[in-house]
Amino acid sequence: METLDAVMLDALDKMEKSCALLKEQFSGLRTGKASPALVENVSVIYYGAPTRLRDLASISTPEPRLIVINAFDPSSLRDIEKAILAANLGVTPMNDGRVIRVPIPELNEERRKEIVKVARRHAEDARISVRNVRRDANEAIKAMQKDGRIGEDEREQALGNVQKETDAHIARIDEDLKAKEAEVMAV
């Protein structure tokens, strides 16, 4: 049998995961500077199995506008290069046989606006996710009151706490979005 505390902890955990996923998605959005996060989650077909790039190579940024990918297995360089091109990141990898260099071009105004739109879409998905968690928690709390496990006062207090956490997480999502927009639009 679920308790009120268990419902609250589960809801908080799921809201935190939504915010963490948003941060991860934002890290993969390209800004004007090189970041390993841009390519580390690219899926590479390695010996027939999809594998994340960060599991196949070391990724570094020796210069502000350059990502260097040093494959653990040099025979996988061509597969890595194809995967980066297929990921449609707006970058062109250069393979010299030992390492792959990915120069990060300067972003133009139009591309910056596209990236901001994508960031807003990710933020809205995170807000929807948080609201869905709120709905599920509210339903569980109302069911507990209906079953007679908690009183009306406890139900109202719990619903208030769920709403307070929802508002806090949505505010955090909005702050993260605002920071990402400022980062992308900075010339």
In angstroms, the CA 102 to CA 136 distance is: 44
The tokens describing 133, both together, are 């968690």
pTM, full prediction: 0.71
Other beta carbons within 10 angstroms of residue 127's beta carbon come to 18
- Rounded to an integer, the average pLDDT of 56-74 is 91
Position 43 pLDDT exceeds 80:
yes
Task: Look at domain 36-103 and name its CATH class.
Answer: alpha beta
Q: How far apart are CA 67 and CA 78, in angstroms?
A: 16
- pLDDT tens readout for residues 69-126: 999 998 999 999 999 888 877 788 999 989 999 988 877 888 788 888 889 999 999 9
Residue with tokens 């297929």: 86
Q: Which pLDDT score is estimated for 110?
A: 83
| Domain residue ranges in the chain | 4-27+108-185, 36-103
Q: Taking 80 as the threshold, does the pLDDT of residue 30 lie above it? A: no
Instruction: Identify the residue whose tokens are 């990141």.
Output: 89
Cα–Cα distance between 153 and 176 in angstroms, integer? 35
Q: Which of 116, 113, 114, 94 lies closest to 103 in space, CA to CA? A: 94
Distance (Å, whole) CA 71 – CA 56: 6
Burial class (CB in 10 A: 0-12, 13-18, 19+), 50: exposed
For 131-175, the pLDDT digits (tens) are 999 999 999 999 999 988 888 899 999 999 999 999 999 999 999
Instruction: List the structure tokens of 30.
Output: 């390209």
Q: Which CATH number does the domain 4-27+108-185 belong to among 1.10.287.1080, 3.30.565.10, 1.10.620.20, 1.10.132.20? A: 1.10.132.20
